[in-house]
Chains A and B, each alone.
Chain A
Amino acid sequence: MQRIPVTERPNLANAAAEHELEYSAGKGVTGWDESAYYQFTPQQIEEDIEGPAEELEDLCLQVVDRAVENEEVLSRLGIAEPFWDYIAQSWRNGEKNLYGRMDLSYNADGPAKLLEYNADTPTALYETAVFQWEWLEQATEQKLIPEGCDQLNDVHDSIVQAFPHMGIVDVAHFACNHDIEDDKGTLDYLEECAREAGIDTCSLAMADIGSDDQGRFTDLDERAITTLVKLYPWEWIMAEDFGRLVPASGVHFIEPPWKMILANKGLLPLLWGMFEGHPNLLPAFFEDDPAASTLAETGSYVHKPMLSRQGANIEIVDDGKTLLNTDGPYGDDAHILQGYHPLKKFDGGYPLIGCWMVASKAVGLCIREDKTLITGKEARFVPHVIQG
């Protein structure tokens, strides 16, 4: 794994415009950096990332299988009682999962470690599947990078192939917060994939969803929603006014309800509890678990809210001292403690390896570099290549 400086494509401004990405001269594309790329060997990709990610996926599904039957666990994850049976049913019914992104700490110097699983509302999907792939094609054509480079990037085709198996009947509705461009862009892309798969779609804002007398959810044309592909976290859905109507609404959600167990950072102590010592896991404990003190006493750990986004409210403690502490709106929630496995510093920052899972297969790679050890909103996407 190497970080290699490279010339930006001369057509970058045009490429950005074509993909409706924000571009400014001097700063380039917002959230994107192609002044360098990461190069991996096929072995690193297959043995250190792809293989372990699929193994982790399997462990995660085993955690779900056990968690849905355990009220104490569901309660500990902060899930309210009215949803316990609903979540368990979604698992027992075999509701299909579409996508997610595992965030790994990896620098080719030992096994990749799972930092968290963005299993419910992952973004950077379009950048991974489309923009990054186009970069590879054009950079090869323009001879900016050596010939014959590849990418772990079967994201687009995998999503298109997964959609027909998602159990969608009639129209699939796509909903998110339309005020957030990034969220809307990601969801629009997913919608395009669904259409490419031959599915009829309709998009609307979460705030525009209605509720009728029979407890069904409706769109702005008074159609009852049967399938809702949402880019809106389950914990928000459950907490909002219409949340109580969800279990009886008959709506088929993508991602399915059981996915919220994986999107919760409480997943990490649950994984450690079942598979302690696994090479791709870090020790992790619920903060209120007496066992957490053994990790705290080492003086090196990461303190994370069970539900937080984009690196908010994370504290890194090393050598007994707070090394880094981010702000955010999630500080009041319950926390976990996780072993500290710092991202390695390369020129340009600390790369976090995101491995895209589609229908439980590892199909794509996304590297985001932040100036700090905590990958947040300022992180920039850096493309990767596989070179044999």
Chain B
Amino acid sequence: MKSWSSKSAALMVSVSLLALTACEEPKVDAFVFESLDQCKSDPLASSDQCDSSFAEAQTQHATVAPKYSSAADCQADFGTDKCEEAPYKTSNGGSVFMPLMMGYMMGSMMGGRGGMMSQPLYKSAQSPNSFRTAENQNVGSKTGGTKVARSATNRPTFKSSTRSRGGFGSSGSRFGSAAT
């Protein structure tokens, strides 16, 4: 099953020619809250925006959260009692697990990114103080108005529960290069 911590290994190593490094990524303004109440008590956030953003993040939660076919695997990554059953089944009827939503992120009116889509946030067992997006991007531990990497505000993708791998690649091992 997937490991929450191995993500960094999958980050692409870029060719040296066109320097485009993640560390130079621009930061944008955003709001991070751990609950709807916390959002509503922030004088800089409007109550309406809190409601709609929270609802949007909650709706996304089940689709974008990382998925596991065993509760133990999920808890290993997110902590005991920090996982729940996802509204999906595996093909043979087994349960699918995902971490609890621990907060949400929404656009900041001040930063001119008020139209930014809100999204659910999670906390890993390894660094329980930091919020992470469903794409495993750390957005820090600060709540309220904050600055996050621009890519962290991208819409999170659907997270699946892979049944099998290795169905591609056999011809490559047989024939070698795909070059023509």
Contact = CB atoms under 8 A, between A and B. Distances in A.
Interface of A: 18-20, 101, 118, 120-124, 130, 170-171, 175-177, 179-180, 182-183, 185-186, 188-189, 191-192, 195-196, 200-214, 216, 218-224, 226, 231-233, 235-237, 239-243, 245, 263, 309-310, 329
A221 B20 CA distance: 22
B81 to A, nearest CB: 22
Nearest to B7: A221
Contacts of B136: 221
Interface in B127-180: 135-136, 151, 154-155, 157-180
B178 A213 contact: no
Given A192-B17, A200-B154, A233-B178, A216 B168 contact: no
B176 A241 contact: no
Given A177-B173, A221-B136, A231-B178, A20 B16 contact: yes
Interface of A is mostly: mixed
B12 interface: yes
A203 B9 CA distance: 11
Interface of B: 2, 6-7, 10, 12, 14-18, 20, 66-67, 88-91, 135-136, 151, 154-155, 157-180
Contacts of B171: 233, 235-236, 239-240
Contacts of B158: 216, 223-224
Contact of B163 (A189, A192, A211, A236): A211
A20 B178 CA distance: 20
B168 A195 contact: no
14 contacts: A179-B173, A183-B179, A200-B151, A207-B168, A207-B169, A210-B164, A213-B89, A221-B10, A221-B135, A223-B157, A232-B168, A236-B172, A240-B171, A243-B167
A241 B14 CA distance: 30
A81 to B, nearest CB: 20
B178 A183 contact: yes
Nearest to B66: A222
Nearest to B68: A222
Contacts of A231: 178
Given A176-B178, A182-B179, A222-B66, A240 B170 contact: yes
A207 B171 CA distance: 10
Contact of A20 (B15, B18, B67): B15
B177 A183 contact: yes
Contacts, number: 174
| 8 residue pairs, one from A and one from B, having the closest CB atoms | A242-B167, A207-B169, A210-B162, A177-B172, A236-B171, A118-B180, A123-B179, A241-B167
Contacts of A309: 175, 177-180
A177 to B, nearest CB: 3
Contacts of A188: 12, 14-15
Given A196-B20, A241-B167, A224 B160 contact: yes
A15 to B, nearest CB: 11
Given A18-B16, A309-B178, A209 B167 contact: yes
Given A189-B15, A191-B12, 8 more contacts: A101-B180, A175-B168, A180-B176, A192-B15, A221-B136, A237-B168, A239-B171, A241-B168
Nearest to A239: B171
A240 B168 contact: yes
A236 B171 CA distance: 6
A88 B56 CA distance: 38
Contact of A121 (B16, B91, B157, B179): B179
A118 B177 CA distance: 14
Contact of B161 (A130, A180, A222): A222
B16 A222 contact: no
A202 B160 contact: no
Nearest to B180: A118
B162 A180 contact: no
A223 B166 contact: no
A192 B19 CA distance: 9
Contacts of B157: 170-171, 223-224, 226
